Amino acid sequence: MQKRYILAPGPVAVAPEVMAKMAEPIIHHRTSQFSAILTKVRENLQYLFQTSNDVIIFASSGTGAMEASVVNMLSPGDTAIVIRAGKFGERWTELCEKYGVKAVNIDVTWGDAVDPQKVKDELDRYPDAKAVFMQAHETSTGAKQPVKEIAELTRHRENTVLVIDAITALGVYELPMDDWGLDVVVTGSQKALALPPGLSMVGVSEKAWQMSKAAKLPRFYFDFASEKKAISKQTTAFTPAVSLIMGLSMVLEEIRSQGLEAVFRHHRELAEATREGATALGLKLFSRAVSEAVTVIETPEGIDGQAIVKKLREQYGITIAGGQGQAKGRIIRISHMGYLCQWDMVIAMAAIERALVSMGCPIELGKGVGAVQAYFSKSEGK
């Protein structure tokens, strides 16, 4: 029985206690017992999203919540600005096109953060643009995007909402929804929340809520209004994924008791240590706007990233991610999200060292791990 580790940016490792919680007998969803849990979950989600507005929960993957953001904000023929800084940015465009929304794309070199000036230019050029769609963190490249700066451009525009795919950002680093004036913030269960996939959550600002009333794109399962009505009755519009919500309830209590600051620090430390390890090995980071969610490392000349991923998974029992789309084969990606700690970063670096050596790459075994160790040793002293 090979011992296995999951260090990919979703699905992520889930704590055994949370798994056990989800394995408890199912509660019926139309009971006061479940309503009480749901109400507490929603309060804690407001804490996580840093919002006083409602947070909606769907039984779906994150993509479902992205679709919800499109269909609840827009009408056919509307114009939206889409920041495409990687594979998930492309998804916003596909969604817009499927629904007859004109997508004005701002294409960003993979690994870069968008220049807010470009967004300003497009907003000036398309004053009727109803929405700006972006990723807070582009999972496919590991690049953090300047959400706060872009929110400065949209928050005072009465008829433009800023929609954030925060699937690999919320709960990883600071992203205060109300403070920054974000209108729709989307996340999923299988990232920073360290749960299995199957739940998505959407924070909806007052401006977005007003806008949804005029939005004419068709929707039923993903309709914000149905869910808002259900929230007022302490329930959900359709059958919720009960066991996943039990897990969510436990994870949110933990986040609340630790405090967001501690949760952010945890991710930051895992990320910084990994970057130091990679750099010590002479490896290059793919992203010019490094994130606390995922560290993306360029593979050395002549080494196939997919082969590293395969070796780690099949021989060492460790699942990391390779590249997607145009980055396939050129990068490897290590998650800092999920039920992980410093020793997982030690293991990840150790396995990468071993794979590189076995592929003939002239690196010194232990150099990356040493840097990871040094980092944690230093932060321990603090």
The least CB distance from residue 61 to a second copy, in Å, is 4
- Cβ burial 141-156 (10 Å sphere, 16+ → b, else e): bbbbbbbbbbbebbbe
Q: Please report, as ranges, the residues that interact with a second copy according to CB under 8 A.
A: 4, 6, 8, 10-14, 16, 19-20, 22-29, 31, 58-64, 67, 94-95, 98-100, 188, 190, 196-198, 217-223, 238-244, 313, 319
Neighbours of 250 (CB within 10 A): 18
Radius of gyration of the chain (CA): 21
Tokens of 379: 């932060």
Residue written as token pair 């929707």 = 219
Are the CB atoms for 52 and 178 separated by under 8 Å? yes
- Among the listed residues 182, 239, 154, the one whose alpha carbon sits nearest the alpha carbon of residue 49: 182
Query: Which residue number, 94 or 178, has a Cβ lying nearer to a second copy?
Result: 94
User: Which residue, 34 or 180, has its beta carbon nearer to a second copy?
Assistant: 34
Question: Smaller CB distance to a second copy: residue 281 or 296?
Answer: 296
Burial of 248 (0-12, 13-18, 19+ CB in 10 A): buried
Closest approach of a second copy to the CB of residue 13, in Å: 7
User: Least separation, in Å, of the C-beta of 256 and a second copy?
Assistant: 23
Residue 225 or 303: the one with the smaller Cβ distance to a second copy is: 225
Minimum CB distance to a second copy smaller for 176 or for 197:
197
Q: What's the min distance (Å) between Cβ of 4 and a second copy?
A: 6
CB of 323 to a second copy, least distance (A): 12
**Token pair 């940016």 is at which residue?**
9
Contacts of 72 (CB under 8 A, 6+ apart): 184, 204, 208, 212, 215, 217, 219, 222, 223, 224
Q: Closest approach of Cβ 60 to a second copy, in Å?
A: 5
Measured from the CB atom, is 60 or 373 closer to a second copy?
60
Joined tokens for residue 16: 């055994």
Of residues 62 and 142, the one with the C-beta less far from a second copy: 62
Q: What are phi and psi of 28, to 5 degrees?
A: -70, 140
Q: For residues 29-50, b (16+ Cβ closer than 10 Å) or e, as one string?
A: beeeebeebbeebbebbbebbb
Distance CA 48, CA 256 (A): 8
What is the closest distance, in whole angstroms, from the C-beta atom of residue 358 to a second copy in the complex? 21
